[in-house]
Amino acid sequence: MLSTLFSSNLSRREPDRRIAWLLILAVGLLGLAVILGGCSKGDVVAKVGSKSITATQFKDEMVKRYRTLDFASQRSLEERKEVLKSMIDQQRKLQDAYRLGLDDDSLTQKMANDTREQAAIQELYKVEILDKVIPQAEIKVFYDKMGEEIKASHILLKLPMDAPDSVATPVKVRADSIYNVLLKGDVDFADLAKKVSEDMTTAQNGGDLGFFGWGRMVDEFQETAFKMKSGELGKPVKTSYGYHIIKVMERRPNPNRKSFAEEQENISQQLRRKYQTQLNQAAQAYLDTLKSQHQLKYNYANIQKILDKVNDPAAPQNNSMFAGFTAEEKKWEVVTMTGQTLTVADLEREAAKMGGMQQSWRDQKAVISAVERLVIPKFLGERAKEIKLYSAKSVADAYTNTLESRMIQMVESNQVENRINASDSVLMGYYQNHLNEFMTDSTVMVQEIYIMTDAAKGRDEAFTRQIAGRAQKGENFLALVKKYTDRKSSIENDGKIGPLTSRQYGEMGKAAFKLEVGQISDPIPMGARAYSIIKVLEKTHPRQKTYEEAKPLVERQIRVQQGDSLRTAWLADMEKRYSIMINDQVLVSAFPMKPEATDMGKTPPPQGNPMRSMPQTPPGTPNPHQAAPPQGGK
């Protein structure tokens, strides 16, 4: 990941791009764990073996699946149980992975440690750059504005960014005209939006943008919309999309706003655009200081010798740019820093770790860029350790999430995929015992006259029947093909198509199997605007596939059957090992269930003792619930 982030920056001539990676890093893993208000962190939705699934974890998963708290609150009790069952299944697998010691796997540990380092660098950016540049007072103002959301509709007249006055002025005049028409009240906003709005996403819904909170729209749009009252029509406002005529329909408290502590990080990210220049400057200064502290010094003479060697036309042309270097040349010093010297050999080793250095080294800037992609992350990682950021919650969460995700993948492979026996003897035995499953399809070869209808040219259904009749009476079919067919792709082959199975070419393919060899069909409708007239040239009957022909399908069936059997046995074993108790009251109260969700749910909240055993669902039961994304703005 780091190599990708560093690949287009650290140029000596382009200081803004040199620090772009540090800004990008802040986006990746920040906000790994979404904490939602409403219940105590100690509330337990379910116990799985020795572990608990808390209300916070359940809410996090619900919002992750259904996109927003509002959508999640509308889910029925049965839908919530489906989400919880998925979490229980994952927790069982995780406990089984720990039982088998998969947390000690060396590759898993490396992946988790790499993720922890990346997360620590991102936390470093937040602490050392983001939090120092973006004023806390502005974050608080932003948060206060998030307390309300509005429902609005708009009419958009598109305008390219930086459009000249000759283009922008007529659009502005038209926007003013539409505004004045609406202001008179003779035209319904939604009706007019359907006719003139150029926002194809919302025009069909009368320009309806739905409810949105502060921070969801571009600045000019939201600054205008949030100053308006319910029912108010706003004058045209220009954004990067063009001119908008906005009408606010309704205002209400924002049900999705979380606590300030929970929203603060997300707000900082949204304010980055406003403070981009200051952030760039702060990050540039930070990197310069780091390099100075580590006394980074380049050997430009050796760098030039490296360039001369890798760009020598006589140099070996293979996957490694270092193949032509001798053992002595690989000892050339490239850069020195506190306590370390980087040589050509070091560059070669690091390049191998990253799968090779893809870029061409044409000048010293390219070499220095490659070096800094190697050393800067180490400087940042050391600094993060120095100020104790490896113990930050976001960093610990990143480590744990990577570790346990990898463990679940491994335990599934170990308990299912790796135990499947797909040896040749097993495959051959299955093939011999199921010969009827491995037959070739019947096929048919046809010659076709494909006619596109065109009333203006008299090429209608009656015309196609006339052509079919001529063919059926014995007129030369090939001559009719060459004269009338509109399927250009088959003309060079005299209109021949095939061999076909009955599943190909829709109605034409089906009709072909009902005809005898030499027989000519009546016109066959091919959609609303075309007809096909076919002559059957030859047919083949199903035959037994050889083992080699059938082998790929045999193996797929074996893997599915054995995989299902192994998975069922594994799940049954885990059900015995890791018992389950569910607290239905917390399941419902984790966040309030809206009335419509209660109506949908059919199952009322339980009475009496809230802790109960969970009825087992057959293994492999799919989750049918898919949430539609909430409406968004620009």
Indicate the DSSP class of residue 521. P
d(CA 185, CA 179): 10
Residues 586-624: pLDDT tens digits?
888 877 666 555 444 443 333 333 334 433 433 333 332
- Whether the pTM exceeds 0.75: the reply is no
Please classify residue 499 by burial: count the beta carbons closer than 10 Å to its beta carbon, then call 0-12 exposed, 13-18 middle and 19+ buried.
Answer: middle
Cα-Cα-Cα-Cα dihedral of 189, 193, 197, 200, to 10°?
Answer: 140
d(CA 1, CA 23): 14
Query: In DSSP terms, which residues pair with 540 in a beta bridge?
Result: 443
Q: Of all helices (H) and strands (E), which one includes residue 246? A: strand 242-253
d(CA 362, CA 342): 20
- For the beta carbon of residue 1, count every other beta carbon within 10 angstroms: 13
Q: Which residues of the chain have pLDDT under 70?
A: 1-42, 316-319, 354-360, 592-634
d(CA 116, CA 111): 9
d(CA 468, CA 461): 11
Q: What is the pLDDT of residue 463?
A: 95
Q: Which residue has the tokens 């760039």?
A: 280
d(CA 160, CA 517): 61
Q: What is the pLDDT of residue 324?
A: 83
d(CA 64, CA 529): 46
The DSSP bridge pattern shows strands 242-253 and 237-239 to be antiparallel
Domains of the chain plus CATH, in order, are: 148-253 (3.10.50.40), 275-386 (no CATH), 440-540 (3.10.50.40)
d(CA 471, CA 497): 18
Strand, helix or coil at 626?
Answer: coil
- Of 560, 508, 506, 577, the C-alpha closest to 536 is 508
Which residues does 458 contact at the CB level (< 8 Å), separation at least 6? none
Please work out, in degrees rounded to the nearest 5, the angle formed at the alpha carbon of residue 460 by the alpha carbons of 458 and 464.
Answer: 110
- Of 533, 530, 534, 532, the C-alpha closest to 453 is 530
Residues 479-520: pLDDT tens digits?
999 999 999 888 889 999 999 998 888 899 999 999 999 999
Whether omega for the bond prior to residue 606 falls within 30 degrees of 0, making it cis, is no
- Of 176, 257, 174, 273, the C-alpha closest to 218 is 273
Structure tokens at 358: 């893809």
